């Protein structure tokens, strides 16, 4: 399934059903940390901080590029302190486009994956080494 930018930019409000803005402007200076590197032929993205509609752009860009260029992408989610449905949508989209592994999700991310059933769709590993080998 190809990467679909429109899937992320056409999120709808759960209250009104109207299209939500592609990016909020509440704090334009805020950008969560995203680090990237190659490990044994796998592209590793290390995400930290909070991810929601207003802050997802750096992670979206990193995953978008990675799933197009590498046969396997690993997302280290151990330092994510908050994530919402925008984050989950991004994970599913990346998984459908390429081979995504989620590593060491923080308790908040793990719980979000469990209550939504995403943990049964994504491959979740304990370590980057384990994810690279799978």
Q: Which tens digits make up the pLDDT trace of 94-118?
A: 999 989 999 999 999 999 999 999 9
Contact 13, 45 (CB under 8 A): no
pTM for the full predicted model: 0.78
Report d(CA 74, CA 80) in Å as an integer: 14
pLDDT tens for 24-67 read 444 455 678 899 999 999 999 999 999 999 999 999 999 999 99
User: How many CB atoms are located within 10 Å of the residue 50 CB?
Assistant: 17
pLDDT at residue 15 in the model: 36
């Amino acid at each position: 399934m190809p990467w679909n930018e429109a899937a992320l930019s056409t999120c709808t409000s759960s209250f009104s059903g109207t299209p939500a803005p592609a990016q909020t402007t509440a704090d334009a200076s805020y950008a969560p940390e995203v680090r990237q590197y190659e490990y044994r032929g796998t592209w590793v993205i290390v995400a930290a901080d909070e991810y929601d509609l207003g802050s997802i752009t750096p992670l979206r860009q990193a995953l978008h590029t990675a799933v197009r260029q590498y046969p396997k992408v690993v997302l280290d989610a151990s330092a994510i302190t908050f994530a919402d449905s925008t984050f989950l949508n991004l994970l599913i989209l990346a998984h459908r486009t390429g081979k995504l592994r989620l590593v060491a999700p923080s308790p908040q991310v793990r719980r979000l994956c469990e209550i939504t059933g995403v943990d049964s769709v994504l491959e979740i590993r304990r370590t980057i080494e384990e994810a690279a080998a799978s």
